Structure 1
Amino acid sequence: MSSSDPSLATEAPQAAVTSERKLSPDLQEQLAKPYLARAMAAVDPSHPEGSKGRDTKGMSVLQQHAAFFDRNGDGVIYPWETFQSLRAIGLGSPSAFGTSILLHLVLTYPTQPGWMPSPLLSIHIKNIHRGKHGSDSETYDTEGSFSYSVCRFEPAKFDAIFSKFGKTRPNALSEDEINAMLKHNRNMYDFLGWAAANLEWKLLHKVAKDKEGFLQREIVRGAFDGSLFERLQESKKST
């Protein structure tokens, strides 16, 4: 909290939650323009240029996240491709099957190029921004409507995940801390968003937690741009 300039304070004495869930007041000293949402790179102080060496192919960060599940690279994801991808990163067959069906039931219609539903439950990567749900960390930005969700990467919002909820370790989240974050991020009556956020974070914790049960900051950053999935797949192949 700034004692010299109240307008820069990040904590309010009468609002205890602002002290419990802190922000990083010096983030701009660690990363250039942390308030600027990045279209194609998931950046943080340790990765100011994002995941180096990756060909983004001009895709947004959210599109890069989704592209891992497009096994044949045609821009359209089918349930069997999602199943194969989830298996490739270490999820068991029953979980991979159930998750694939749920994801496609929710995302297929919003991402279609027209008004007709897809009988094959396809997801179109070019329209994946339309599938952004509420009650999330808001690290993917949004303009606030179904048609105009943008889904760039917001460094300040990403940093806030750990400054607010990483109580045990500053750059990692325990399972209890993930649960606290999910509860904090809920929007009123947004039951679909609650369920989607829980599914995403619980699956990420299941396949990428460390030996002590923590999700490391770099793991979470890699999930946002999909680079984590590529590393997990290579790791599974090697073992």
Structure 2
Amino acid sequence: MAPSTSSDPSMETAAPRAPVTAERKLNTDLQEELPKPYLARALAAVDPSHPQGTRGRDTRGMSVLQQHASFFDRNGDGVIYPWETFQGLRAIGCGYPVSFAGAILINLVLSYPTQPGWMPSPLLSIHIKNIHKGKHGSDSETYDTEGRFDPSKFDAVFSKYGRTQPNALTKDELNSMLKANRNMYDFIGWITAAGEWMLLYSVAKDKDGLLQRETVRGAFDGSLFERLEDTKKSS
């Protein structure tokens, strides 16, 4: 994952007078590892190890972002209420205080942008059909503005910040990514991104304190949540 050594300067990924471009490396071989990595996928969260996405997953025609959100639609009616968010957070292993606070904050932030009309919902409902309207800034941009999954952006999370291991993030590396992704004055985005990633880290890090690439990919399409729920039930 080193910067390009091609004699063609238009193919370089690091600029000598911009040290940050050499510090945060891009994977120059991604084109050989995954077909059309620049093409955002609507239905599948793909990477070189999963070129068709999560095996056996029924997408039900939903975008990857919708698949992520639909885990919290506990009755499958296309609308997520705060009590369903609470149930979903409990299902993946969050404690009562975190689940309660998360349910209130998540639905408070996402309810109005996803409403089908101009009127706010007194029950703070989130409509999965419009979940792309709730996309915030200061994130990895792995979801595009329509809720598709961008493989090149996902790969950059690890090529830029996975220093200890190429396919995992430590807590410090995760914090570095969050700081680097901040858009100027986007305070809501800063807080939301930090909350999402730290929650993911708390429930899905491995025994060595690493957030593995496959774990993160599963969070993007929601398959991780289903695995965590199954694990909790079995234990």
Pairwise same-fold verdict (TM > 0.5): yes
1:171 paired residue number: 167
2:119 paired residue number: 116
Pairing partner for 2:148 from 122, 146, 152: 152
TM-score norm. by structure 2 comes to 0.98
Shift in Å at residue 11 of structure 1?
0.6
5+ residue gaps in structure 1? 143-149
Q: Give the distance between the partners of 1:60 and 1:136, measured in 2 at CA.
A: 18
Pairing partner for 1:46 from 45, 49, 67: 49
The answer as to 2:60 corresponding to 1:64 is no
SS of equivalent to 2:69: helix
2:205 paired residue number: 209
Shift in Å at residue 131 of structure 1?
0.2
1:105 paired residue number: 108
5+ residue gaps in structure 2? none
Shift in Å at residue 6 of structure 1?
1.1
The answer as to 2:232 corresponding to 1:236 is yes
Ranges of 4+ aligned residues in structure 1 off by more than 6 Å:
none
TM-score norm. by structure 1 comes to 0.96
Q: Give the distance between the partners of 2:148 and 2:10, measured in 1 at CA.
A: 28
Alignment of 1:172-187 (within 5 A): 172-187=168-183
Report the RMSD for the aligned CA atoms in angstroms: 0.5
Shift in Å at residue 92 of structure 1?
0.3
Pairing partner for 1:81 from 55, 79, 84: 84
SS of equivalent to 2:85: helix
Q: Give the distance between the partners of 2:170 and 2:54, measured in 1 at CA.
A: 24
Shift in Å at residue 75 of structure 1?
0.2
Shift in Å at residue 66 of structure 1?
0.2
Which amino acid is 1:183 matched to?
A: K
**CA deviation map 1:104-161 (0-9, x unaligned):** 110000001111111111000000000000000000012xxxxxxx121000000000
Shift in Å at residue 193 of structure 1?
0.2
Shift in Å at residue 4 of structure 1?
1.7
1:134 paired residue number: 137
2:218 paired residue number: 222
Shift in Å at residue 2 of structure 1?
2.2
Which amino acid is 1:172 matched to?
A: A
Which amino acid is 1:82 matched to?
A: T
Which amino acid is 2:24 matched to?
A: R
Q: Give the distance between the partners of 1:6 and 1:24, measured in 2 at CA.
A: 17
Q: Give the distance between the partners of 2:70 and 2:8, measured in 1 at CA.
A: 45
Q: Give the distance between the partners of 2:216 and 2:6, measured in 1 at CA.
A: 33
Q: Give the distance between the partners of 1:227 and 1:214, measured in 2 at CA.
A: 19
